[in-house]
Structure 1
């Protein structure tokens, strides 16, 4: 069971679950949860009323089920695309978060409004994403994706879109969607080992 919660790329330093605020008794959603390690940590150590870990990957969902299925019903592992899940979950969540998850891999003009709708009044969205591209190239100055090479579960070549955007671009997107009290922090990676992270 993960005993720490990190936002940075290296998963080894910086702020932890406190960035989410007090989630005790709250309804929480992990967007693009992967193997649900962060959601499992919250379920065990921070006592939310309910936490839903959403991921569309069959392989990731299967691994999460093997590792953390025993944490039900507090932890719900949901195999689903983030957008359809959020669009059918109006005013469900007190807190939504993404640790290098769906926020970076979903068109922000679609995801951010869906997240805003799924949050209850006064709810919080917190996420970490790349501050620059993995190869060192700067983040985009406008809303455009980068094509990334990937592989299907069967090992076939595929492509994914990733949104690596400059701070002012993310800030404008969040503001236009209606989010308030927007703040950001850059978590610097170890030189030569990990990229910098931008946490919102």
Structure 2
């Protein structure tokens, strides 16, 4: 049974956090986190207000704060466990890194005309209904602001992405380890383009980044950028 009331991200990233507390030296969009373009896909971040949507442990956000010169990066995640982990790992980067425990759509609705740049690396764009999240993101961007996100180009099983705005139920675990499911949106390029256009975005660009290696649970990455009209 799908549930949205418990923290389905409780276990995610805990093993790495126990041994790796460093700010990453690189920013990767790809599923494998080992190649492809870096934050240049977001443009010049100097002096910008940047939002990470579904930031998890905030490793990407921490990289931007340390290695680029944004005015502030706000890392937003609904998971209490991910918020606690991110705060423990990178809370020392405040106030330039602000870690927010919030539903991403609710947060965006509360922040109109705030952000210069929003991004998601297999984050909230994958796990929130795009018909709700993308209009909220457009409204939270300042005119001319940029959205960038990476998402699966196909399912991890190898099955093709959806030809319409349809979610699939994928396996997840509750904090006590019980099996459950969560919704994930894996959409074809033209579907993302359509739903972004309907949300008010323009200059929409998509690029498939092939997986560097084959094997089980590898995947191509779809990198998408779009702008709120100036």
Output the TM-score relative to the length of structure 1: 0.98
SS in structure 1 opposite 2:215? coil
Partner of 1:192: 215
In structure 2, distance between residues paired with 1:73 and 1:103: 25
* Structure 1 gap segments, 5+ residues each: none
Residues 1:159 and 2:181 aligned together: yes
For CA contacts below 8 A with separation 6 or more, give which structure has more relative contact order. Answer: 2
C-alpha distance in 2, partners of 1:185/1:90? 28
Partner of 2:106: 84
Corresponding residue number in structure 1 for 2:145: 123
| Aligned equivalents of 1:150, 1:91: Cα separation in 2 | 34
| CA distance in 1: counterparts of 2:167 and 2:88, whole angstroms | 33
Within-5 A mapping of 1:22-171: 22-171=44-193
Name the SS for the 1:182 alignment partner: strand
Structure 1 stretches of at least 4 aligned residues deviating more than 6 Å after TM superposition: none
Name the CA distance, whole Å, in 1 between partners of 2:221 and 2:29: 8
Partner of 2:33: 11
* RMSD of aligned residue pairs (Cα, Å): 0.8
1:129, 1:87 → 2: CA distance? Answer: 22
Q: Which residue of 1 aligns with 2:8?
A: none
Report deviation, 1:154: 2.2
State the aligned residue count.
200
| Alignment deviations for residues 57-110 of structure 1 (CA, whole Å, 9 cap, x no partner) | 111111111110000000000011101100000001000000000001000100
Unmatched segments (≥5 aa) in structure 2: 1-22, 225-230
Secondary structure in structure 2 of the residue aligned to 1:183: strand
Give the Cα separation in 2 of the matches to 1:46 and 1:154.
Answer: 39
